[in-house]
Structure 1
Amino acid sequence: MNISFSRLIAKVGLKRPGVAEGVGMLAGVVIDAVLADPRRGHPVALFGTAAAEVEKRVYGDGRARGVLHVALCVVPVALLGHAATRPGDPMVRAALSAAATWAVLGGTTLGREGAAMAELLEGGDLAGARERLPHLCGRDPSGLAVPELARATVESIAENTSDAVVAPLFWGAVAGVPGLLTYRAVNTLDAMVGHRNERYERFGWAAARLDDVANFVPARITGLLAALGAPLVGGSTRRAAAVLRGDGHRHPSPNAGRCEAAFAGALDRTLGGVNVYGTRVEHRPKMGEGPEPSVADIRRSVRLARAVGLAAAGLAVLAAVRGSRGRKG
């Protein structure tokens, strides 16, 4: 039977809006799983370089300057994403969706960093683990012992499962390529300037608040999926859900607490405590009822994060495809 390529596309429904994007998102997830992040020339790193240049030109110790910085960095990215996915060849839309999804996802790299920390600590390489920790979070590792390094790693994996995996997939399902790119721009700016220190307390306010809004729903999806996945790491869904409900709101971040609480409950461990960021010391509330994380719990948290990521990918692709029904191409 001789079926032309264009007829095949029509047969599988790729011409419907949302289907091409959903297929592309699925391809992007697979590419991320195989290739992870490139060591050089990553699109997000290039955006960060550009954002830093904009910061040099507009910085001022005030919220208005911070709002301007966010607008100058985020709006062009959103417009670029919109322009790139105007109605056209469905194969091109699928390819662009795949490329954008791969560019914004960080789940595979997150898992590899967690595994690297576990390997270093399992081998007794405390100095190597301290040197590696900044790949995951901004805490000062110089004075951290093995238990604190394990806790920092588990907490970072929990939070970044939302930031690097669930949130971009959520916004990709909601708004396609513009959603993927815009979310990553917002999240990257928050990582760059959304800090509570003398330089960024006011200038970074807009980036931090916008990131809070962008992650509000994804963080709660992450918490729910982590609770549902608890049996995969020897935990209880009921216990994880209880910790999520009881402790998730106690974290100073409106979003990170949901992720960390769910992971704490799923792993049956207690997270939270004293965190040192340079000269700033934060006392985080305890979440969970079990012992503090051990080195073995790092690999468990990686397995849970991967399960959450796979579930989120499936839901995002399904939402994108189902959302195409009833819309005209």
Structure 2
Amino acid sequence: MQLLIDVGTNAEIVLGDTTRQFAASSPTGPAFEGAQLSCGQRATAGAIEKVRIDPVTLEPRFRAIGIDMWSDEPGFSEAVQDTPVTGVCGSGIIEVIAEMYLAGIISQDGVVQGSLVDKTPRVVADERTFSYLLYENGDTKLFITQNDIRAIQLAKAALRAGIDLLVEHAGSPEVHDIRLAGAFGAHIDPTYAMVLGLVPDCPLPGVRSVGNSAGTGAAKALLSRAQRREMEHTVTHVTKIETATEPRFQDLFVAAMAFPHASAPMPYLSTLVTLPPRIESSGDSAGGGQRRRRRV
């Protein structure tokens, strides 16, 4: 079956094939667009859009919109004089949190590991929690805070719970064809989308962007009577799932809060990246101890 996701303040989700379709809307909020984040911004010049974190040193490198080189390449310091780095856009926040998880900076529960304070100056105490210093230049400091991570967790859990709900209603088929629609979907790296658990585990070539599909559909409806009649016929056969009234939604939401997911297997993702062992965190507060156990 094919899964179509249009990510926005509300995520529109459709799962189906030529014989049946299921649809739902999940309230993801504005976090994926950079809103409600301490350093979030729209995808404009100066916004960090790609991030890599060294798993040994925990040092970041990144690319920002309007700057042609990575932050560790010659000429970057000169380039930021003309295009200052000012924040992190939606695709950037997805990548930095995924990289923080892969580097062991945050646990699968999304908790910034305070024990790393002694290992790197990038992890700093922030009242009762910890934050990660992504960028510093003069008076400009961009932190990824515990609240930022929680906002993304809530957004991605709402999206993933909606997806999993449709999959259950469809009889739990394997989904190997995932289409990401909208401007945000066009800029998401499929690997990082799976690391965060935004989408179910599947072969990487099966995750593709389809651009502004809503706009394309609207144009077809306006310009073609045949297309409009086909749409009118199709929607009468779509099974709409109301996430707000579904008893299973809350359980699926809780399971989807973890990175990548609390229980779903990740056979395809495991071939692309090295997933860290699970870390049991005592909570968000500073100084909490952690105990490691093997991923199951």
TM-score, shorter chain, exceeding 0.5: no
Q: Which has the higher helix share?
A: 1
TM-score by length of 1: 0.27
Q: Which has the higher strand share?
A: 2
TM-score by length of 2: 0.29
